[in-house]
Amino acid sequence: MTPLPHRLLAEFLGCLLLFASVIGSGILAQQLAAGNDGVALLGNTLATVAMLGLLITILGPISGAQFNPAVTLVMALHERTPAASALAIIAAQLLAAPAAVALAHAMFNQPLFQIATHARNTPGELLGEAVATFTLLLTILGTLAHRPAAIALTVPAAITAGYWWTSSTSFANPAITLARAMTDSFSGIRPGDTPGFIAAQFAGALLALAVGRLLFTSSRSDIPPGPSSPAPRD
């Protein structure tokens, strides 16, 4: 069993690198795209999913590679992660958010923290964010039930699709939503729009849990505490 401090370090480091890759690639993509948002989104997508896949591969056996408070909540409600451990994991994920913003901005010689001005508050975007998070969590639960070794492929695939088929471009993560509120770049979101996004994310995650229990009940005992396999259990 991996000690909890090691798991917390893995979650913090994973979130730090993942969130910084989202923000940093958004900054560089915006600089290189010359105003073409499609090109900028493509660059942002490629960097994000590549980093996500490798982080799940190298850190999954340590912490479960949750990197997402919505995922951690679902795993706790699925009775695979004790409440105290889940709270500590979520705290590590949230602490990584400002650190990732500062790291990404420092690499591009920008102020360490900014106030995002990108509006994302339409009903369609909120629906898109709920759908994106539902798809991500259902992907995790279904993969763990049927092909856990494929998790480093299916989760990045869900995020890649979400970037391009949902109106919200698939944040699907409350912690990264908070990080994006601190960057006035291509990947940003106005601070006032974050509560709606986070509420939509948790709604989508809980719906995925309910659907997953119906679809994958026979494999429930095989589901470890995060989107990787094998993963430690308290």
For the cut 60, the answer to whether the pLDDT of residue 167 exceeds it is: yes
Residues 6+ apart with CB under 8 A from 127: 167, 200
Count other C-beta atoms under 10 Å from residue 30's C-beta. 19
Residue 170, in any domain of the structure: yes
For the cut 60, the answer to whether the pLDDT of residue 176 exceeds it is: yes
- Backbone dihedral angles phi then psi of residue 65, each to the nearest 5 degrees: 50, 50
For the cut 60, the answer to whether the pLDDT of residue 234 exceeds it is: no
Query: What would the mean pLDDT of 141-156 be, rounded to a whole number?
Result: 96
Confidence of residue 1 (pLDDT cuts 50, 70, 90): confident
pLDDT in tens, 112-139: 999 999 999 999 999 999 999 999 999 9
How far apart CA 21 and CA 4 sit, in angstroms, is 26
Number of residues that this document lists for the chain: 234
Residue 232, in any domain of the structure: no
Helices 123-146/69-77 angle, 10° precision? 50
Res 226: pLDDT = 57
Residue 192, in any domain of the structure: yes
Between 232 and 166, name the one with better pLDDT. Answer: 166
Res 218: pLDDT = 59
Residue 227, in any domain of the structure: no
For the cut 60, the answer to whether the pLDDT of residue 230 exceeds it is: no
Between 225 and 93, name the one with better pLDDT. Answer: 93
Query: What would the mean pLDDT of 208-223 be, rounded to a whole number?
Result: 76
Sign of the Cα pseudo-torsion (37, 38, 40, 44, in order):
positive
At 217, list the tokens: 């009940």
Res 37: pLDDT = 93
Confidence of residue 219 (pLDDT cuts 50, 70, 90): very low
Residue 228, in any domain of the structure: no
pLDDT in tens, 3-61: 999 999 999 999 999 999 999 999 999 999 988 999 999 999 999 999 999 999 999 99
Res 222: pLDDT = 43
Provide the CATH number for the domain around residue 9. Answer: 1.20.1080.10
Res 125: pLDDT = 98
Residue 35, in any domain of the structure: yes
Query: What would the mean pLDDT of 172-187 be, rounded to a whole number?
Result: 97
Instruction: Write out the residue range of the structural domain in which residue 213 sits.
Output: 4-222
Tally of domains in the chain: 1
Residue 33, in any domain of the structure: yes
pLDDT in tens, 61-99: 999 999 999 999 999 998 767 888 999 999 999 999 999
Residue 176, in any domain of the structure: yes
